[in-house]
Amino acid sequence: MRTTPSIASRPLAAPPPFELAIALTGEDRVAAAMHLYRDLIATRRRNVLIVTGIALLLITVGQLSTSWGGRGRGDFALMGRNFLDALSGPTGILLATFALAGGIAYAFFGISTRRRLRRWYRNEGLATAIPCSYRLHEAGLDGSEPDHRSHIPAWRLRQLADGPEHFFIEIEGVDDLVALPRRDLSAEQQAHLRDWARFCIGQAKPSDTDAAEQSATEPADEAPLDLRFRLTPEDRTAMALRQQERFWPRSRLLRRTAFGLVFALLLVPAVMLLLWSIDPDRVPVAFALPLFAEMAVKTFWPITAGLCGLVLLGHFATPLFMRLNAKSLGKTLHRRASDDEVRVLISPEGVTSRQRGIESRYDWAAFTGIERRGEHIFAILRRGDPLLLPARVLNSDQMQLFDRLAATHIGRPGEAA
């Protein structure tokens, strides 16, 4: 992954402003997410090896303990022979199964991550192409898409990453970036983009402008609602949990559990049928069926019950795991982001969000609804992640005003399912 050259090589004169028009597709969003969270994805991928290694170690230690505790305890040679014999039996098969499963999961982790992202964007209605335009100039970058306009000052830009199929303009202090697909850029536009990046990226914040003071001195009466807050780890946890619950809705969990129970109930009969099919002449069907039924009820029912128990345990433990994962992810995302004040202005004309120089303006047509989850309000966008408003920053009067504005321009605020 190449990035822009060092600051010392940037041109002395600013390149002229220029505009880019692209069509942002679902695959572009997947590539952007893979680049933006590449460090988190790499950590999760390494964790697959760590978990696999721990499982293999526990199985090996357990087998060594069994070999040591058998006949001839204290005889290391006998213990070694017992251990090697076990490796050629079920223990070896179990070790090979775990090692193979871990290796496959590690090798295909990137592919599975892309697949989950595609499904997420498809479920959120973000798989279709969306026309976007950008104006790159000395002061930064202006973006425009249907019902949404944004501005990113030059001093908030971190780097231009040069990928195989995209350019990624990274932003300092926020988990967001601008993805520019190469297919929509001519060779001249790509060269102009690199010249602009060499000049703009690395600029110092103007010495006479402090973003926090500027935000504080702006008139507060320019919008009916003027909300100011700082995002906490709990706020980011709520956002991550919402995404996970939307990716794994209750209906999908029930379907997964139903398939798991059917698999658990049919596994033993399927294995018995497979073994019988190897030599069906030895036991005729008339005798095999009653024998299989008796073995399934008297001998193999603990295996079936255990598998069903694991499936049910996974069903009831999944919400807990999602909450724990969301809490961990929320803390990680909070450490990655800068602790900037967020200012949200809500008026009959639309919603404006400002965060240390970065500004996003949304028309009401950009929103599809309001969703409340505990102490958080999500303004659902037609395209992109929802706008988060912690309920703690609104008093009762402000909440009533927000509800009236939302009901007038979007529809009745809804509760989370």
Strands (E), 95-205: 130-137, 140-145, 148-153, 157-162, 166-171, 177-181
Please tell me the distance from the alpha carbon of residue 120 to that of residue 123, in angstroms, as a whole number.
5
Q: Of the candidates 362, 359, 392, 363, which has an alpha carbon nearest to the alpha carbon of residue 375?
A: 392
pLDDT (tens digit per residue) in 380-390: 998 888 999 99
pLDDT, position 351: 94
Please give the model's pTM, rounded to 2 decimal places. Answer: 0.78
pLDDT exceeds 60 at position 192:
yes
Q: Of the candidates 155, 142, 153, 137, which has an alpha carbon nearest to the alpha carbon of residue 195?
A: 137
Residue 221's pLDDT band (cuts 50, 70, 90)? very low
Domain assignments of the chain as residue spans, ordered by start: 7-25+129-209, 39-123, 222-231+337-415, 246-335
Whose tokens are 């001839």? That residue is 72
**Answer CATH for 7-25+129-209 from 1.10.60, 3.30.70, 2.30.29, 2.60.40:** 2.30.29
Residue 7's pLDDT band (cuts 50, 70, 90)? very low
pLDDT, position 6: 41
pLDDT, position 216: 47
Cα three-residue angle 117-156-142, rounded to 5 degrees: 75
pLDDT (tens digit per residue) in 64-97: 777 666 555 556 666 667 767 767 766 777 788 8
pLDDT, position 268: 76
Cα three-residue angle 379-383-387, rounded to 5 degrees: 25
DSSP 386: P
CATH number of 222-231+337-415: 2.30.29.30
Please tell me the distance from the alpha carbon of residue 265 to that of residue 311, in angstroms, as a whole number.
11
* DSSP H stretches of helix in 124-179: none
pLDDT, position 70: 55
pLDDT (tens digit per residue) in 326-365: 999 999 989 888 888 999 999 999 999 999 899 999 999 9
Domain 222-231+337-415 in the same topology as domain 7-25+129-209: yes
* Helix/strand/coil for 301: helix
